Structure 1
Amino acid sequence: MSQTVDRALSILPLLAQGPADLGQVAERLGVHKSTALRLLRTLHEHGLVYRQEDQRYRLGARLFALAQEAVENLDVREIAHSHLVALNEQCGHTVHLAVYEENEVLYIDKVESRYPVRMYSRIGKPVAITVAAVAKLLLADLPEPERRAIAERLDYPMYTSRSLPNAGAFLKELAVVREQGWATDLGGHEESINCVGAPIRGADGRVVAAMSVSAPNVVVTAEELLTLLPLVRRTADTISREYSGTTPTKKA
């Protein structure tokens, strides 16, 4: 670890003990005030520290938000996994769990199909955000201005003839998903792959993750896969209850 990074990170446990002024930070780090100020400014720019009106520094809200996101994402995967396995055992198809982070939708868990024809998705890999069922579920839950801003800055590759071609079509699809509470990708990313998904909600009703079941046409038709939707939704609701400790309701 570089000396600069080491010094910057050393500031965080110092401020965890309470607010400190520039001189106190410099003294604790054993550096000149100008060096301490440069480090504090960098951390401040990233929201990790905050300068109060009395010119003392404290930990920033962004740090707590990051910690909360990390905990929630870890917890939802841990809570969901056994249910994803059970769903896989019932239907035999590939099951995914995904979250929205840093403008990407990422798979955080996967249970492989029992069939020889399998998907090449990987845990930690971003999904095709404009077509994937899990992406639609996660983005549909965002406030309308944020949905629109995201839609307008995305590219819309035509993976297949069923891919969504532009921001207008994507926003219309998100509105449908938001209303019905579930999503599909029927050949939008790969002609031969279909997918149905459902949201996992926290105690406040907001979507914290999304799960899906995917299968190739050679194993099951799109119509047959859609018959699994009630099972997928029940599984998502069970995970939601365990995750939130309540019976979450869809937030308006």
Structure 2
Amino acid sequence: MSQSVERALGILPLLAKGPAGLGEVADELGVHKSTALRLLRTLHERGFVYRQADGRYRLGAQLFALAAEAVENLDVREIAHPHLVALNKATGHTIHLALLQDDEVVYIDKVDSRYPVRMYSRIGKPVPLTVAAVAKLLLADLPEGERRSLAARIDYPRYTARSTPDAAAFLRELELVREQGWAADLGGHEESINCVGAPVRGPDGRVVAALSVSAPSVVVTAEGLVELLPLVRGTADAVSRDYSGSQDPQQDQQEEEDS
């Protein structure tokens, strides 16, 4: 990376903490004030930083505008789909991607199993909130007050003997999902269907979507499906990196070696 570009980029995290003077910027970068001033002027001209009346600099409106536009144009379904296809090829099972919309969790993408016995589900269909793995992942990430409020107002259908019975049990399960970083539905909706899932996170670490692998027990046992968790979580992490625009350390190292 160009030294000037690297130094200019180094200014932005400093100003994200609050306004800073020329001397603070120079000290942060380890450069002379004249060099820091040249970089700040360039960023100021582009609207990425703004010089206040007191002489200090802060992040500029153009930076926020670009960030907002980028977030608005992100399509998690488009980003995730190749990863869902790869996970389907690796496992052979049904893959779902879901989003939280108000009080509903909805499938937004699906890759069907290659086995003759398949799950019935469709894109756009809400999932059972109290049992589905993707629902647990999305709801577990809500602030505690919102989780409790939602748990108190939804119903708890007894689909099977393994269905979540009430709000207290649901909140305990959501807390477990938060702690372990994955979720499962082992016969909670249909006795013969099992599912494991992992969260897709955005740049701020919040869960923006959830993906899962589902299969009938006649194809794979619940234990066998749970053994796929490392692959499922790895896929979710890869989608998260693509969605957030970040790379894993191994990829960074490989690119440095190739350059």
What corresponds to 1:191 in structure 2?
Answer: 191
Where does structure 1 lack aligned partners over 5 or more consecutive residues?
1-66
TM-superposed CA distance for 1:81, in Å, is: 0.2
Task: Tell me the amino acid that sits aligned with residue 153 of structure 1.
Answer: R
How far apart, in 2, do the equivalents of 1:115 and 1:211 lie? 19
* Aligned equivalent of 2:246: 246
Secondary structure of 1:230's counterpart equals helix
Aligned to 1:132: 132
1:228 aligned onto 2:228:
yes
Change (3 A) 1:128 1:236: same
Alignment of 1:177-216 (within 5 A): 177-216=177-216
Structure 2 CA distance for partners of 1:70 and 1:192, relative to 1, 3 Å: farther
The aligned counterpart of 2:113 is: 113
- Which residue matches 1:82? 82
* Structure 2: tracts of 5 or more residues without a match: 1-68, 249-259
> Are 1:110 and 1:123, in contact at CA under 8 Å, matched by a contact in 2?
yes
- In 1, distance between residues paired with 2:71 and 2:188? 30
Contact 1:131/1:188, CA 8 A, preserved across alignment: yes
Equivalent residue, structure 1, for 2:28: none
**Structure 1 residue 103: Cα displacement:** 1.1
Q: Give the % identical residues.
A: 73
* Distance (Å, rounded) in 1 between the aligned partners of 2:92 and 2:188: 22
Moved over 6 A (4+): 67-70
Work out whether residues 203 and 247 of structure 1, in 8 Å CA contact, stay in contact via their aligned partners in 2: no
Are 1:138 and 1:210, in contact at CA under 8 Å, matched by a contact in 2?
A: yes
Q: Distance in 2 between matches of 1:81 and 1:109?
A: 8
Per the normalisation by structure 2, the TM-score is 0.67
Shift, 1:141, TM fit: 0.3
Q: Which TM-score applies when normalising by structure 1?
A: 0.69
Q: Structure 1 89/133 Cα, relative in aligned 2: closer, same or farther at 3 Å? A: same
Indicate whether 1:168 and 2:168 are aligned: yes
What letter corresponds to residue 172 of structure 1 in structure 2?
A: R
Contact in 2 for aligned 1:240/1:247 (Cα 8 Å): no
* In 1: Cα distance, 2:70 partner to 2:183 partner: 27
Distance in 1 separating the partners of 2:199 and 2:227: 17
Residues 189 and 167 from structure 1, CA distance in 2 versus in 1: closer, same or farther, beyond 3 angstroms?
same
Tell me how far apart the structure 1 counterparts of residues 71 and 145 of structure 2 sit (CA, whole Å).
22
The SS at the match of 1:95 is strand
Residue identity in the other structure for 1:202: G
* Displacement after TM superposition at 1:68 (Å): 9.1
Q: How many residues are paired up?
A: 180
Verify the 8 A CA contact 1:131 1:164 in the aligned structure 2. Answer: yes
Amino acid at match of 1:97: L
Residue 93 of structure 1 pairs with residue 73 of structure 2: no
Distance 1:184 1:197 in 2: 6
Q: CA deviation at 1:247?
A: 6.0
User: Structure 2: how far apart are the matches of 1:69 and 1:103?
Assistant: 22
